[in-house]
Amino acid sequence: MAILVTGGAGYIGSHTCVELLNAGKEVVVLDNFCNSKPEVVAKIEQVAGKRVVLYEADLLDCEAVTGMFRENKIEAVIHFAGLKAVGESVEIPLTYYHNNITGTVNLLEVMARFHCKKLVFSSSATVYGTNTDVPFRETHPLSATNPYGRTKLMLEEIMRDTYVSDNEWSFALLRYFNPIGAHKSGLLGEDPNGIPNNLLPYVAQVAAGKLPYLSVYGDDYDTKDGTGVRDYLHVVDLAVGHLNAFDYVLDNPGAEAFNLGTGRGYSVLEIVKSFEKASGVTIPCQIAPRRAGDIATCYADPHKAKKALGWEAKRGIDEMCEDSWRFTKRNHGLD
């Protein structure tokens, strides 16, 4: 029996594939490579020393998804595939709703047809909206401030409704905070197409000389140094969380949400300082206006995941930055 990983060539998906392979699982990857690269699959196999079955396909193509289920005995699905840029989602909301929601509904319909009713879902801390009551707990009220976040919120509700209609389903809704870092090998990491949307790859590209400076959006928040505070966790810790969630859905019907985070926050400038220490490179910064929808402080209460999944983050911020810099040097030929 295999595990299907949609979006398996992406940043979090690729690291999760490695952890699954290392745990002796058979892995089938579906990816349309709209924000990932085919060579990542070869790197997954190089790191793990095992092969994956790859389908270059799109969840909007029901025929392709059906064929993949017909050709493989799939036990469960870990679902990463989706568009994920907040700013872009505001510019092209219909594209985000169609891709993220229709694609997932297609996946669920095919899963039901093949009696595969166990799914680990890549949700997001964006479902907490503009809550300021930190740390965020799974019981907090939910909302969203942009179309990307709304797709995650809607899909959580769709999965809850699906379970209510058929109690054989099991969903783990993983709300992650801010994944950073890279695999120790330096082969896998976050390598977005175009200008990075997330802090660490942006910092890394400045350190590598690919971008002139880091824009820091706001230095007047009510935080220790005025910059936004977020819960950064190592991508390998996050990948292990998906492995634990896979074990959970095998035996626990329902639709349960879990925060995956460290339970503490770091400011933008603390991240910059740690990256400067890891790289030995000074990161030029320019202060820019706050971005709409950003809040001062956001970090998780991860206790539910520890209790139910047996998971907790183990790697610290210095290790996250060191691993990111190792990947950046290798990826940009700076070794």
- Catalytically active residues are 148
Bridge partners for 121 per DSSP: 79, 173
Task: Of 53, 43, 46, 3, give the one whose Cα is nearest residue 23.
Answer: 3
CB of 111 closer than 8 Å to CB of 77: yes
Q: Report the half-sphere exposure of 59 (CA within 13 A, side-chain side).
A: 29
Instruction: Give the amino acid at 75.
Output: E
CB of 139 closer than 8 Å to CB of 256: no
Phi, psi dihedrals of residue 327, rounded to the nearest 5°: -65, -45
Tally the residues of the chain: 335
- Residue 144 CA to residue 150 CA, distance in Å, equals 5
Task: Of 223, 255, 263, 320, give the one whose Cα is nearest residue 121.
Answer: 255
CB of 157 closer than 8 Å to CB of 182: no
Task: Of 177, 182, 13, give the one whose Cα is nearest residue 82.
Answer: 13
- Residue 4 CA to residue 55 CA, distance in Å, equals 10
Peptide bond into 135 cis (omega under 30): yes
- Residue 58 CA to residue 6 CA, distance in Å, equals 9
End-to-end Cα spacing for the chain: 40
According to DSSP, residue 305 is labeled: H
Alpha helices in the chain (DSSP H): 11-22, 39-48, 62-71, 86-91, 93-96, 103-113, 147-165, 199-207, 235-251, 268-279, 303-309, 317-331
Instruction: Give the amino acid at 99.
Output: N
